[in-house]
Amino acid sequence: MVLYTLFATFFCTLVLPLLLFLAAVKLWEIYIVSGRDPTCLSPLPPGTMGIPFLGETLQMVLQRRKFLRMKRQKYGFIYKTHLFGSPTIRIMGAENVRQILLGEHKLVSVQWPASVRTILGSGTLSSLHDSEHRNRKKVIMRAFSREALEYYVPVIEEEVRCAVSEWLASGSGVLVYPEAKRLMFRIAMRILLGFEPEKTKRDEHELVDAFEEMSRNLFSLPIDVPFSGLYRGLKARNFIHAKIDENLKEKISNNNFDSQHKDALQLLIEHGEKNGERLSMQELKASATELLFGGHETTASAATSLVMFLGLHPEVVENVRKELYAKGFLGSSSSDKRLSIENLEHLKYTACVVKETLRISPSVPGAFRVALKTFELNGYQIPKGWNVIYSICDTHDVAPIFPNKDEFNPDRFMTDLPEDASRFNYIPFGGGSRSCVGKEYAKILLKIFLIELAKSCNWTLLNGPPTMKTGPTVYPVDNLPTKFSHFIDSYK
């Protein structure tokens, strides 16, 4: 009798819950697979869907690169999973990405996870569709015209030079990633939103911290309860909106339509006034938040990666300096040389260093779409309504046009690749109709950052090569502690 009681207790406390859990997982798999389109003969991609309701979100968030690497090794370039509350197909590889990017509005449409749409807002550029997206993008693109970029160059140069001077003055070294975020935030506030330097500095630390909290919780389960990721992300977003509200009202009341150079937010306000489509304060705050997020989070990630790769490859820094000397930016005559869009375009090797950095460590690892109808991709069914993630980092990693892919080698870009070969093998700014609106701005900003570093500094990574993490942009876990010292211009 005692033995029977012990067995029953063991069965009820351990075996039965385990069996029920396994049964629930199996039913979950059957439920998800039943979502395939029976009119399409192609099978679903291989893969697993994780545990009921949560799917594989927790593994992906906690393990990120390890999780994605394991999935790619096990299932290849197309596989199914369940992330952020939705069944999802994840793809990589130039040909697969090409079909997704060129299938915008026909096969797929942009649809970020519910948590992203809730925090950033459904009226932001990244969430708009069709004519609304085209019109909004056309307005914002005016803030990144060649004429506008020329106006931004001295502002970027001023802010970068000031930051680098502070890094050089720090005797014990600096944490590059948080410093880069503050630098890129100041630049974005001035250039994209047109805020005055003193106002930017006043609110800088609190706003950067709020953006970090918002970014950390952008991709979270869509559950708005106290202490959840979504709850914390919304709280940070509301703080950001409150901080920029006063500046935004002042900007609207003092809007100068005759100003020669207009920032992106000013152009949105002006466009709304002229076309009778005036954006509400909430829409303007959401747009300002999106511009600040895109304008500083991604560039801070890329700038940090630049410091990291060049700290590990001092010979590349020396090659950059040789080019700067050849073009008159180092040496006895360098004090008379001013940066401009034209002479930045002549610095080919410097541009190649930026390209190689974005190849190995693209700031944004991928982007989200949703299938508008069931279609076939490389022999697999992509069911209508399922999310589709195309991976930028994995596509770069598997691109056959890049031999020795793990090697940091800017020379690989010195020979121009045929456009048909590189178009979808190299996509650091996405592609198609939704490619990054600020990509030319980002390239120029990173070039100026690299030039100022090479002209002014030598540096050493105090912890050596860091472990990189994604959340949602790529960053070093240790924040990249680095010691900067003055570079003595030996070319003079």
DSSP-assigned letters across all residues of 198-263: HHHHHHHHHHHHHHHHHHHTSSS-S--STTSHHHHHHHHHHHHHHHHHHHHHHHHHT--TT-SS--
pLDDT at residue 11 greater than cutoff 70: no
Residue 329: helix, strand or coil by DSSP? coil
pLDDT at residue 254 greater than cutoff 80: no
For residue 115, give both structure tokens: 């948590």
Q: Where are the beta strands (DSSP E) in 145-295?
A: 174-175
What pLDDT is attached to residue 459? 96
pLDDT at residue 34 greater than cutoff 60: no
**Which residues make beta-bridge pairs with 110?**
369
How many whole angstroms separate alpha carbon 262 and alpha carbon 273? 15
What pLDDT is attached to residue 293? 83
Burial of 380 (0-12, 13-18, 19+ CB in 10 A): buried
Q: Which residue has the tokens 């970020």?
A: 112
Q: Place 8 in a pLDDT band, splitting at 50, 70 and 90.
A: low
Amino acid at 477: V
Q: What is the pTM of this model?
A: 0.87
Average pLDDT in the 328-357 region?
87
120 with 290: CB under 8 angstroms?
yes
The more confidently predicted of residues 237 and 257 is: 237
Q: Where are the beta strands (DSSP E) in 312-416?
A: 366-371, 375-377, 380-382, 387-391
Q: Place 298 in a pLDDT band, splitting at 50, 70 and 90.
A: very high
How many whole angstroms separate alpha carbon 51 and alpha carbon 143? 46
Binding site per annotation, positions? 436
Binding site per annotation, positions for heme? 436
Amino acid at 289: T
Crossing angle for the helix pair 348-360 and 439-456, to the nearest 10 degrees = 110
438 with 141: CB under 8 angstroms?
no
Query: By mean pLDDT, which of 201-215, 259-273, 436-450 is the weakest?
Result: 259-273
Query: By mean pLDDT, which of 188-192, 406-410, 427-431 is the weakest?
Result: 188-192
Q: Place 30 in a pLDDT band, splitting at 50, 70 and 90.
A: low
pLDDT at residue 334 greater than cutoff 70: no
Crossing angle for the helix pair 298-312 and 348-360, to the nearest 10 degrees = 100
The more confidently predicted of residues 145 and 302 is: 302
Q: Per residue in 445-459, pLDDT tens? A: 999 999 999 999 999
Best mean pLDDT range from 209-218, 250-259, 424-433, 475-484 = 475-484
Average pLDDT, the chain: 86
What pLDDT is attached to residue 294? 82
Which residues are CB-neighbours of 442 under 8 A, at least 6 positions away?
A: 298, 299, 302, 429, 436
Percent of the chain with pLDDT over 70: 87
Average pLDDT in the 98-111 region?
92
Average pLDDT in the 363-372 region?
92
Percent of the chain with pLDDT over 90: 47
The more confidently predicted of residues 99 and 9 is: 99
